[in-house]
């Protein structure tokens, strides 16, 4: 049996981030294929009514062909355990993505070589940068006519604000894409298109001089000159700098052709960090501490339409997680038995006996666990860093059938706890608002209310444009502010009070009038315990 230290050392937990259509689903599928986790490439995909998207769960996703919920996949490669966390591609679900990013030690960023950095990627990069998450960059679709690699590198460096270190460099593009140069080994890996579903495409690796006399010799020499140019201005690769988010290794390839994918997997194993320490309110927790600790970063209800279930996704932060062990949920002070924990092989769940730092455990529960909860076998701790952001659109919920008020309340409580949408109630409890970042989030909420909970509801526009959670040095000051603003103070799912604004200028006026009150655009999942400003 491996020691805790060895189990930690062989784990990599990472998320794939990209703008929709850059090739995330395709790359995921190829990664799984290389690791032997699935055997037919394409089974992760579902576009255009063909096969079913394994990583997408909900009806609405199937209808629209988008990935709404994020999923978790575990695979083994070269004796390592890779935990891949998928993130929703659509920007309306960015809050879910932010939370998933708190559960990983690295990110794999996919760039469509024709488009460079796109809007959604930019937002994700900002989150990674704020957390100093190491980023590996994969420039995809080199088999198409795309932008010049030198230009892409410039753009990447500017946006990331850190040096890019090329590990591979493309030879040509589109119809004249000949392959990549391996920067460290000075070898050339040649490309042949059209090997979508094969694990081993007929690529071959040659020494540099073996291929410069072939028909693609000129293209290879040009690529080498470019590579040397970039390497001359880039710093030497440093694992420490990469782990601290100060350098990003760069790869080129074509996911759909399964070209350049193995290099990325190797990089994950060879240079990506193993599970890192995690800050808690009380202290920083090291991954190899013997007591188990974990944090809930995602709740998903009704993943399986046949069973009413609710699964908390827990990132193991330290120690060994054991099936049937009892753990303290710090927020409630209650113990929970870890019965029926599962790990994820895409949609398939597998029962597990134990899990190690970096692993993601799914724990079925009936509401005992909420987003941001810390579980521990030792001292009470509160992990930090799971963000909730102030929504930008607010809608009032209404139902036709007064007999369903109770169902609506419990359904909204669950959706709110899941973080699928934010739920705000005014102090009288009579007015209930849903807060979101995009219209699609409302569509999903309505669909789920009707489908999963049997509560057809309607939504009405409101004049509110933003919210700020409020706090003050003393409870009296906060109470005074709250009592002065009936109709504007709402409480969210964890009863943290927020002031709802109709205009941005209102925010300036109120904060000037009430200097004792602090207004927060973000709150930590631990709610009133630690309201922090971004």
* Residues at the interface with ligand G4P (CB under 6 A): 18, 20-26, 45, 47-48, 89, 140-141, 143-144, 254-257
Q: Is 140 annotated as a binding residue?
A: yes
Least distance in Å: CB of 18 to ligand G4P? Answer: 5
Q: Is 176 annotated as a binding residue?
A: no
CB closer to ligand G4P out of 140 and 302: 140
Beta strands in 338-427 (DSSP E): 342-345, 348-351, 354-355, 360-364, 374-376, 387-389, 393-399, 422-426
CB closer to ligand G4P out of 21 and 222: 21
d(CA 279, CA 290): 16
The DSSP 8-state label assigned to residue 289 in this structure reads: -
**CA dist 298 → 8, 369, 446 (Å):** 22, 10, 20
Q: Is 23 annotated as a binding residue?
A: yes
Q: Is 83 annotated as a binding residue?
A: no
Given a contact cutoff of 8 angstroms between Cβ atoms, the answer to whether 23 and 112 are in contact is yes
Least distance in Å: CB of 118 to ligand G4P? Answer: 11
Q: Is 243 annotated as a binding residue?
A: no
CB closer to ligand G4P out of 89 and 170: 89
Burial 142-161 (b: 16+ CB within 10 A, else e): bbeebbebeebbeebbeebe
Least distance in Å: CB of 22 to ligand G4P? Answer: 5
Burial 79-105 (b: 16+ CB within 10 A, else e): ebbbbbbbbbbbbbbbbbbbbbbbbbb
Q: Angle 160-161-167 (CA atoms, 0-180°, nearest 5)?
A: 65
The secondary structure of the chain in percent helix, strand, coil, rounded to multiples of 5, reads: 30, 30, 40
Q: Is 142 annotated as a binding residue?
A: yes
Q: Is 149 annotated as a binding residue?
A: no
CB closer to ligand G4P out of 20 and 456: 20
Q: Is 87 annotated as a binding residue?
A: yes
CB closer to ligand G4P out of 16 and 352: 16
The DSSP 8-state label assigned to residue 273 in this structure reads: P
CB closer to ligand G4P out of 109 and 489: 109
Least distance in Å: CB of 55 to ligand G4P? Answer: 9
Least distance in Å: CB of 63 to ligand G4P? Answer: 16
- 107 burial level (CB within 10 Å; 0-12, 13-18, 19+): buried
Q: Which residue ranges make up the annotated binding site? A: 18-25, 86-90, 140-143
| Binding site feature residues for GTP | 18-25, 86-90, 140-143
């Amino acid at each position: 049996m491996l020691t805790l230290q060895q189990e930690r050392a062989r784990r990599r937990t990472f998320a794939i981030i990209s703008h929709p259509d850059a090739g995330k689903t395709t790359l995921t599928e190829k990664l799984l294929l290389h690791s032997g986790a699935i055997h037919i490439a394409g089974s992760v995909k579902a576009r255009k009514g063909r096969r079913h998207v394994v990583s997408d769960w909900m009806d609405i996703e199937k209808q629209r062909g988008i990935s709404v919920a994020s999923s978790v996949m575990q695979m083994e490669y070269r004796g390592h355990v890779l935990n891949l966390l998928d993130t929703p591609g659509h920007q309306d679900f960015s809050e879910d993505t932010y939370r998933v990013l708190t559960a990983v030690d690295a990110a794999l960023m996919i760039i469509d070589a024709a488009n460079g950095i796109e809007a959604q990627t930019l937002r994700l990069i900002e989150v990674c940068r704020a957390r100093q998450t190491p980023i590996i960059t994969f420039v995809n679709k080199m088999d198409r006519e795309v932008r010049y690699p030198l230009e892409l590198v410039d753009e990447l460096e500017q946006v990331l604000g850190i040096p890019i270190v090329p590990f591979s460099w493309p030879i040509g593009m589109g119809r004249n894409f000949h392959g990549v140069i391996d920067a460290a080994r000075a070898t050339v890996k040649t490309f042949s298109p059209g090997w979508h579903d094969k694990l081993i495409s007929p690529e071959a690796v040659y020494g540099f001089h073996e291929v410069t006399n072939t028909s693609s010799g000129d293209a290879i020499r040009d690529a080498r000159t470019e590579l040397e140019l970039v390497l001359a201005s880039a710093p030497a690769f440093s694992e420490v700098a990469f782990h601290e988010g100060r350098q990003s290794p760069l790869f080129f390839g074509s996911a759909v052709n399964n070209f350049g994918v193995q290099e990325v997997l190797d990089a994950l194993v060879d240079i990506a960090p193993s599970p890192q320490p995690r800050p808690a309110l009380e202290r920083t927790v090291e991954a190899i501490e013997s007591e188990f600790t974990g944090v809930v970063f995602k709740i998903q209800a009704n993943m399986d339409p046949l069973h009413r279930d609710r699964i908390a996704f827990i990132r193991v932060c330290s120690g060994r997680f054991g099936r049937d062990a009892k753990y303290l949920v710090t927020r409630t002070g209650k113990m929970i038995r870890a019965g029926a924990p599962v790990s994820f092989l895409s949609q398939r769940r597998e029962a597990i006996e134990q899990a190690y730092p970096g692993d993601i455990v799914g724990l079925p529960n009936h509401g005992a666990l909420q987003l941001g909860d810390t579980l521990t076998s030792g001292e009470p701790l509160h992990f930090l860093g799971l963000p909730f952001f102030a929504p930008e659109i607010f809608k009032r919920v209404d139902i036709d059938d007064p007999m369903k008020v109770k169902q609506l309340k419990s359904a909204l409580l669950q959706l709110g706890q899941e973080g699928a949408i934010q739920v705000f109630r005014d102090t009288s409890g009579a007015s209930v608002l849903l807060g979101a970042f995009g219209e699609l989030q409302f569509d999903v909420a309505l669909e789920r209310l009707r489908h999963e909970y049997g509560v057809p509801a309607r939504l009405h526009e409101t004049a509110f444009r933003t919210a700020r959670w409020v706090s003050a040095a003393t409870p009296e000051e906060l109470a005074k502010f709250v009592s002065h603003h009936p109709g504007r103070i709402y409480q969210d799912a964890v009863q943290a009070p927020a002031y709802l604004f109709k205009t941005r200028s209102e925010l300036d006026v109120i904060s000037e009038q009430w200097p004792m009150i602090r207004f927060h655009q973000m709150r930590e999942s631990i709610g009133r315990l630690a309201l922090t400003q971004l």
